[in-house]
Amino acid sequence: MDNEELVGFARRVGLFWPAAEIYGGAAGLYDYGHLGATIKRRWEDLWIAYFIEQNENYFLIDGSNMLPEKPLVASGHASRFNDILVSCKKCKTFYRADVLLGELGIKINEGADEKEIEKAIKEHGVRCPKDKGELGEPKAFNMMIDVSLGPEKKEKGYLRPETAQSVYLNFDREFQLLRKRLPLGLAIIGRAYRNEISPRQGLYRMRELIQAELQIFFDPEKWDLKPKERKPMNVVTYKTGKQTKMTPAELVKDGYPEFYVRHMEIIHHFYTGIIGVPEERFRFFEKGGADKAFYNKVHMDIEIDVRSWNGFREVGGLHYRGDYDLTSHSKGANKDLSVSVDGKRFMPNVLELSFGVDRNIWMLIDVFYKKDGERDVLGIPGFLSQYDAAVFPLQKDDALEKKASELYDSLAKEFRIAYDTSGSIGKRYARMDEIGTPYCITIDFDTVDSKSKDHGKVTVRKRDDRSQVRVSFDELRKMIAGSRAIHGIGMI
């Protein structure tokens, strides 16, 4: 489905739409409807179960979204978290220079400065796309959103530009509390804020985004973590610039650290093994040279091929950040954040697993939505869907409704169950298909007829292939439990 169709579908089934829509919306701000908010919380639960809870020294923490000025000066965000803007001298429209040049097919590095941009604009004779006006001088524009607190608004601060900073600020206390062991993983799921100038890209470039980030602090001389499998993964390395299938062993041979390659495997299994993204729609894309943040030793984007954007789009990243962050805050806070483990004092390195939650929700819709004849089907895995199953009485009838309601009460103790009595069975199926409910359970006259050979059995109709089976209550319970369970979580 294309971008417009996805946005329309998202609105129609209760996934997401622009914030403050009744006031005409707000650029770069989105709200999640009842379906989106629930799928989002399920995705977060999955992320916590897979990335955090499988390791006994990894933990979820939470941090305030507003931060004082100092830490964001120390982290470099106050001086370097910039976009280069150009504006049209005639119509005064502002553009993000890299976006404008990119749309014209002019290649520019992600870290390009004002001078490089100016050079590119002159070389290619770029003018305003709206009225062909001349473009002004490119200027660095800090993307952080500032806040002023206190009675005279003199206490300056920022909305955090990434959740990672809240983790670095808490590393020292948590390291002390958690008995000074490395590797230590600290994760946050929360919001980050960026004054994006061209935020009109659905959930892909937002002014307020949700991140799920895990920072692993470790001793680079001691993290003895090796890749386990030989499964090849799609990778675009910076060196070749081409997408190829590479095994973990080949990546290690090419010089990527073993702990890094091991985490590529873990992430690859999360998407292809657990969530079920087709192998060919998943890849790592390495950033290097000026496209890579200077503090990253290795930087790969996690990309999913989405039809709605005509190709691969970033949904996260795996960043070997070295010791830049703790070193910066040691200086900024004037507090030594190095650690002493086994008689050695050193600054821990950081491996960051970063995921854009909104982009992951978008990706899920793109990958798992299918049109099947007239049917809209959201074929997401059962453990991510809003309901595990739906219960319907076949038609208005006291005996059927009584039985259906009993079954609902019994199942609802263990599972998340929808109950629907309104409209034809076909309509009720359609409503469940489009929100991704894996099973629809119908109570019919045979279910309640003690003389029928199908007495006590119900019809289960499956979302994905519309096949129907007749099962007992016990079998039903097993089916639902199986669809709800997360498979393969321990297999990595």
Residues within window 138-177 making contact with its own copies, judged by CB under 8 A: 141, 145-153, 155, 157, 159, 166, 169-170, 172-174, 177
Rounded Cα gap, residues 22 and 45, in angstroms:
31
Q: Considering the complex, state which of residue 238 and residue 415 has its C-beta at the smaller distance from its own copies.
A: 415
Binding window for its own copies (CB under 8 A); candidates: 1-9, 20-28, 120-128, 464-472: 20-28
Q: Residues touching its own copies: how many (CB under 8 A)? A: 82
Is the dihedral angle over the CA atoms 486, 490, 491, 492 positive or is it negative?
Answer: positive
Rounded Cα gap, residues 338 and 328, in angstroms:
11
Output the smallest distance, CB 226 to its own copies, in A: 20
Rounded Cα gap, residues 349 and 351, in angstroms:
7
β-strands 349-356, 344-346 pairing: unpaired
Rounded Cα gap, residues 42 and 13, in angstroms:
17
Q: Which two tokens stand for residue 444?
A: 């019919």
Residues 261-280 that bind its own copies (CB under 8 A): none
What angle, rounded to 10 degrees, do the helices at 34-47 and 357-368 form? 110
| Residue 126 interacting with its own copies (CB under 8 A) | no
Q: Considering the complex, state which of residue 1 and residue 486 has its C-beta at the smaller distance from its own copies.
A: 486
Q: How far apart are the two ends of the chain, measured CA to CA in Å?
A: 32
Contact 459/469 with Cβ under 8 angstroms? yes
Q: Considering the complex, state which of residue 94 and residue 238 has its C-beta at the smaller distance from its own copies.
A: 94
Q: Which two tokens stand for residue 70?
A: 């100092």
Output the smallest distance, CB 92 to its own copies, in A: 9
Q: Considering the complex, state which of residue 336 and residue 449 has its C-beta at the smaller distance from its own copies.
A: 336
Smallest CA-to-CA distance from 84 within 106, 72, 101, 103 is with 101
| Residue 116 interacting with its own copies (CB under 8 A) | no
Is the dihedral angle over the CA atoms 205, 206, 212, 215 positive or is it negative?
Answer: positive
Q: Which two tokens stand for residue 389?
A: 């199953």
Contact 74/68 with Cβ under 8 angstroms? no
| Residue 133 interacting with its own copies (CB under 8 A) | no
Contact 139/114 with Cβ under 8 angstroms? yes
Residues 177-206 that bind its own copies (CB under 8 A): 177-179, 186, 191, 193, 195, 197
User: Which residue type, as a one-letter code, is found at position 290?
Assistant: A
Output the smallest distance, CB 206 to its own copies, in A: 9
Residues 51-70 that bind its own copies (CB under 8 A): 53, 56, 59-68, 70
Output the smallest distance, CB 364 to its own copies, in A: 16
| Residue 238 interacting with its own copies (CB under 8 A) | no
Q: Considering the complex, state which of residue 155 and residue 449 has its C-beta at the smaller distance from its own copies.
A: 155
> Residue 17: which residues within 8 A CB-CB, separation 6 or more?
10, 11, 30, 31, 33
User: Which of 107, 242, 335, 345 touches its own copies (CB under 8 A)?
Assistant: 335
Rounded Cα gap, residues 321 and 307, in angstroms:
31
Rounded Cα gap, residues 220 and 258, in angstroms:
11
| Residue 107 interacting with its own copies (CB under 8 A) | no
Output the smallest distance, CB 262 to its own copies, in A: 20
Q: Considering the complex, state which of residue 343 and residue 490 has its C-beta at the smaller distance from its own copies.
A: 490
| Residue 127 interacting with its own copies (CB under 8 A) | no
Output the smallest distance, CB 243 to its own copies, in A: 35
Rounded Cα gap, residues 193 and 166, in angstroms:
13
β-strands 155-159, 66-68 pairing: antiparallel
**Interface map 216-235 toward its own copies (x if CB under 8 A):** --------------------
Q: Considering the complex, state which of residue 22 and residue 125 has its C-beta at the smaller distance from its own copies.
A: 22
Helix or strand or coil: residue 88?
strand
Q: Considering the complex, state which of residue 86 and residue 236 has its C-beta at the smaller distance from its own copies.
A: 86
Using CA atoms in the order 177, 180, 182, 185, what is the torsion angle rounded to 10 degrees?
10
Binding window for its own copies (CB under 8 A); candidates: 35-43, 116-124, 217-225, 436-444: 35-43
Output the smallest distance, CB 165 to its own copies, in A: 9
Q: Considering the complex, state which of residue 218 and residue 238 has its C-beta at the smaller distance from its own copies.
A: 218
User: Which of 182, 337, 350, 448 touches its own copies (CB under 8 A)?
Assistant: 337
Output the smallest distance, CB 73 to its own copies, in A: 10
Residues 304-333 that bind its own copies (CB under 8 A): 329, 332-333
User: Which residue type, as a one-letter code, is found at position 241?
Assistant: G
Q: Considering the complex, state which of residue 174 and residue 250 has its C-beta at the smaller distance from its own copies.
A: 174
Output the smallest distance, CB 491 to its own copies, in A: 12
Contact 306/362 with Cβ under 8 angstroms? yes
Q: Considering the complex, state which of residue 193 and residue 285 has its C-beta at the smaller distance from its own copies.
A: 193
Residues 417-456 that bind its own copies (CB under 8 A): 418-419, 422
Residues 68-97 that bind its own copies (CB under 8 A): 68, 70-71, 85, 87, 94
Q: Considering the complex, state which of residue 435 and residue 448 has its C-beta at the smaller distance from its own copies.
A: 435
Type and span of the H or E element at 283: strand 282-287
Output the smallest distance, CB 34 to its own copies, in A: 3
Q: Where are the extended beta strands (E) located within 334-467?
A: 339-341, 344-346, 349-356, 369-372, 375-378, 389-393, 417-419, 439-443, 457-462
Residues 403-422 that bind its own copies (CB under 8 A): 413, 416, 418-419, 422
